[in-house]
Amino acid sequence: MTEEVTLGAQIRKIRTRRRMTLQGVSDDTIDPDTGRPTLTLGGLLRIENETRTNPKLLTLITLARALNIRITIDPDGVLMEDLEEDG
């Protein structure tokens, strides 16, 4: 049986493999719909800790850009592909 890897665990794994801090990934670009930052330090921490399990699309786009990953959303959930992974 395959163990399901959560969105937060995948993000943390990629971020730590790249030796990026939470601050280095967070982004204070303003979301035009809410007038709030797209990915705050606290928001990223909640995603990694699985207390925010359904982040907004703009948040996922911001994460993809910051971590250089490809994110695909399908009926099974959010899939990530590390674009910097060797081989």
pLDDT in tens, 21-37: 999 899 888 888 889 88
Would you state the pLDDT for residue 86?
57
What is the band of 46 on the pLDDT scale with cuts at 50, 70, 90? very high
Q: Region 69-81: what's the mean pLDDT?
A: 84
Average pLDDT over all residues of the chain: 85
Distances (CA, A) of 82 to 35, 49, 65, 66, 87: 30, 20, 11, 12, 11
Residues 26/41, Cβ–Cβ less than 8 Å? yes
Higher per-residue confidence, 57 vs 85: 57
* Average pLDDT over every residue of 66-76: 87
Query: What dotted CATH number matches 7-82?
Result: 1.10.260.40
**Domain segments of the chain: what residues?**
7-82
